[in-house]
Chains A and B, each alone.
Chain A
Amino acid sequence: EVQLVQSGAEVKKVGESLKISCKGSGYDFSTYWIAWVRQVPGKGLEWLGIFYPGDSDVRYSLSLQGQVTISADKSINTAYLQWSSLKASDSAIYYCARHINWGDGYFDSWGQGTLVTVSS
């Protein structure tokens, strides 16, 4: 069974750094793209970017580029989303999701979500 298990909720202050994780199991982690999707509570889904653990290829949403870093450690089947300096507007639920067939593909498995709260 494919599973994506994310790290727990975080409460941070503006300007702090943060790294959240997503551990995959039940499949060959290196051979599937893994994406991060943001959702402000009560709002819609927003794609942030995607990473291919096999060769470390990464793509970012142009609206977010430079604000977050997506990476992965394929030796421990874990993907990461990190911020160097959080803003209040980064408060949201962050989902990781496995992507099938980059390009025209879809997300077939999702993590449970990580709630990030940033206060001033």
Chain B
Amino acid sequence: SSVLTQPPSVSVAPGQTARISCEGDNFGSRPVHWYQQKPGQAPVLVLHDDSDRPSGIPERFSGSISGNTATLAISRVEAGDGADYYCQVWDGTTDHVLFGGGTKLTVL
């Protein structure tokens, strides 16, 4: 079955740009979606369809795809951006929703 691989952790200083990768073997034309989860809270959608931001999500959040790797970029990182981030796709072969293992973003 398909797997989405994320780095367990990423650290960045305030004001810098954080980049979180998500590697998969079945992206092709499949869109990638990203969620932010803060401790004790439910996940929140921050990007859908590779790079579209839902209402209320700052422009600092952006997304891109290159080959088999999707990347969530957070520019001008703030302390409040510290959270776990998950990528998600649909596996058309198994008709399953897949989540990446999650990346803990630490703002130094």
Contact = CB atoms under 8 A, between A and B. Distances in A.
Nearest to A60: B96
Contacts of A105: 90
Interface residues of A, number: 23
Contact of A107 (B43, B92, B101): B43
B31 interface: yes
B31 A107 contact: no
A47 B101 CA distance: 12
B86 to A, nearest CB: 6
A103 B96 CA distance: 8
Contacts, number: 57
Contact of B95 (A46, A59, A113): A59
A13 to B, nearest CB: 26
Interface in A93-119: 95, 97, 100, 103-108, 110-113
Contacts of B31: 104, 106
A106 B45 contact: yes
Most buried by A among B45, B86, B92, B101: B45
Interface string B47-78: 01100001000000000000000000000000
B42 interface: yes
Nearest to B98: A47
B94 A103 contact: no
Contact of B54 (A35, A45, A104, A108): A108
Contacts of B45: 106-108
B42 A110 contact: yes
B30 interface: yes
